[in-house]
Structure formats: structure tokens, C-alpha cells
Structure 1
């Protein structure tokens, strides 16, 4: 799957096709559009999406995963105003996580996802947004207009928005609604939480799936012969 070129609009002047690393795996039922960069061994599950046809570019770092029905999208980052293209303020982050001014904006990302990040089932990261390395985003969670540091664990059905910054190493308990910096600063640490080791295991599974679907045997399976289970039979021997 190579993705789709975006269309030209009054909020996006360029036509871009996704840049997907050959070692990544994008399921046939996933969607990747426009100015998108997908890194090494990234896994995009069925019905996931990365849409770089409005705000752009969108960056997904090496060994990250976007699970079933999870997605990445962003608010527009530029607009045509009186015949001139204008960069919109505070719509892009730098690679290192600074929110950029209009002058700096062309060098930034509407959404930046670091390395080994897990975006679990039905979650949404909507730009402007920045997520650091080794962070886990639990099922049905939403991040919008926020910065989430590295080594963070976000529990299921959480909302993070309002321009907040979640510091490195924090734990967002399931069902949290974080809309102020005070709430973000009061969060507990990930170490010792129920999610302490979750992301490492999830990244291993999904990177291995990317390798497997691309026909690359994992080191642990190189000496093992693949087997196929027999299809289940209905009663009476029918199947």
C-alpha cells in the first residue's frame, strides 16, 4: 500500500504522496493520504488512518503502531488569504516538541509521533499534537492541541486537550479528562502504575506483525517451522 496523493485546496497548496518506509506494513484496509512520513517497522492495522490532506505534514516514527480504527489527522496549517498563502499560528510542532510561530511553521509537523509509540484501538491523535518516544495511548483515547512527553502511559478512554503538556514519564489513569496544565502537572508517574510495562510489550507485538506481513522472520522464529491450524469443523463433520 503506497497511499494516496492529497488534493489541492485553499488550505493546502501542495500535492504530496505519502513517504512510507519499505519495512513498514500498511494493511490494505488502512488509509494514508497526503504529506505523511511513515518510519521503519511501523504497523498500521485494518481501518486505521493517517490523513495528511488538511493539516500537514504528519510524522510517524520508527516502530510505532496505529491500531484498528485509530487515526491521525490535523487542523489546517496554512490558508490562502487575499491571494497570498499564510502560515497559521501554533499549528505545527518542531521535531523536538516546540510549538512554532508562523515564521518557523514551515519546518514543523502538524502531528509528530515519536519512536515506539502505540496508538491503540479507536484512539485519535489530532493536530496540533506532539507525542514523544515510547508512549502508550490507550484504547478510545483522544489527544488534541496537546504535547505528550516520552515514556508516558495513557489509560483507556482518556482525553488530553487545551494546550497542555504532559511531562515525560507520567501516567494518565483510564477515563481521565486533562484540560488544564494544573491537572497535567498533578498526574502520577508511570513507574509502579498498572501500565508500567504495557508499551514495550505492545511495540514488540506490532513491530513483529509488520515484519511478518512483510515476509521477514523474527529472530525468535528463524529456527521454527511455521504451522497452520486446521479449520474448525461443525458437528457432523461439516465445515
Structure 2
């Protein structure tokens, strides 16, 4: 196996004159598709087989955020963009649609966040849950179910476990970049 294969550039697609803006310190896996009005901040990482489609509105992702494998992020045409803050974790195969995930929000694997929903700073949506349109997960709250409902407010100690994910993925993205030949 060739350990010095060249870095495959991620598929970044211009849509109607809008080119994705990816910080040079971000990692976008070569099988992800980033389309149109998408901005990805420093240290953030977009993993394999993700689709970020900013065709009819904007998607903005802050710093050190991880969007894990198979996640779909989209917008609502002309009405609602998608805004994702710093140090956010979005688990594998999630659907993030026309919503706001504030700093340190955590969305579990296979979860769905729908139009106009908000996850406040440090809020957590459990794996497999569906956050209905317009619902708000408060700071440090854990919600789960379909439709998602408040389960409890997390202690600082409980929330600290979730906070280890973002730095782990920043480090892991660097290893993937080096392994793929991108320095």
C-alpha cells in the first residue's frame, strides 16, 4: 500500500457563481461534496460522504467543528440559512436542515434538526432523535426522542465529556490530512 499517495482535493462546487470558502486550516474529506454558499472555519472538519448544499441560502460553519461521515446539511430556499458555531459536534449520518447550532452544541449520530430549530450553547440532541421545526434546546439541556423532548439539564461534569469530541476530531483531521499527503 502506498503511504505517500497525493492528497485528493475535496469536491468543492460552484453554484450560480457562489464558490465555497474553506479556511486553509480546515479539513474536507475527498468524498465530501461542498456546494455553493458554504463557509467552513479554521480547524473544522467535514468527513467522508458528507453533503453540504448551500444552493439556495448560506451554510456557515465556525471553527473546530466536526461534521461526521454521511451527514447532510441543507437550507430553506431564501428563508432560512444554516448556521453552525464553534466547537460543535454533528454525529455520523445526521440531517441538519435550515437551523442554528450554537457553540458547543452536540448532535448525536443519525439525529435530525429541522427548520428554524435552535440548539443553544452546550445543548445536546441524542442519537436518533428528531428536533421538530422551531423547537429550542436550551443551554446544557439533553433532549431525546421523536419528537425530541427535554430529558434533563446536564451538569458541568456530564457536559465535559461531550466537550472532548471537538478537539479529538481536530487532531484526527490533521492525521487524515497527513495520511492523504496534504501536509
Normalising by structure 1, report the TM-score: 0.66
SS in 2 for 1:72: strand
Q: Does 1:189 align with 2:153?
A: yes
Q: Is the 8 A contact 2:11 2:30 kept in 1?
A: no
* 2:126 is the alignment partner of 1:161: no
| Structure 1 pair 147–141 and aligned structure 2 pair: CA distance change class (3 A) | same
Larger radius of gyration: 1
Q: How many residues align?
A: 169
SS of structure 1 residue aligned to 2:166? helix
CA deviation vs aligned residue, 1:51-99 (integer Å, no higher than 9, x gap): 1013x1100110001111012101201xxxxxxxxxxxxx23xxxxxxx
Give runs of ≥4 in structure 1 deviating > 2 Å. 195-199, 210-215
Q: Which runs of 5+ in 2 are unaligned?
A: 1-9, 179-183
Following the alignment from structure 1 to structure 2, what is the Cα–Cα distance between the partners of residues 165 and 18? 28
Aligned partner of 2:15 in structure 1 is 6
Q: 2:97 aligns with which of 126, 129, 133?
A: 126
Alignment of 1:38-187 (within 5 A): 38-54=40-56, 56-77=57-78, 91-92=79-80, 110-127=81-98, 129-145=99-115, 146-173=117-144, 175-178=145-148, 183=149, 186-187=150-151
1:52 and 1:58 in contact (8 A); partners too:
yes
Mark the CA change 1:143 to 1:205 in structure 2 (over 3 Å): closer, same or farther: same
Q: Distance in 2 between matches of 1:2 and 1:28?
A: 6
Partners of 2:62 and 2:156 lie apart in 1 by: 27
Bigger fraction of residues in strand: 2
What's the TM-score once normalised by structure 2's chain length? 0.85
Q: Determine the structure 1 residue equivalent to 2:172.
A: 209
How far 1:212 moved relative to its partner?
A: 2.5
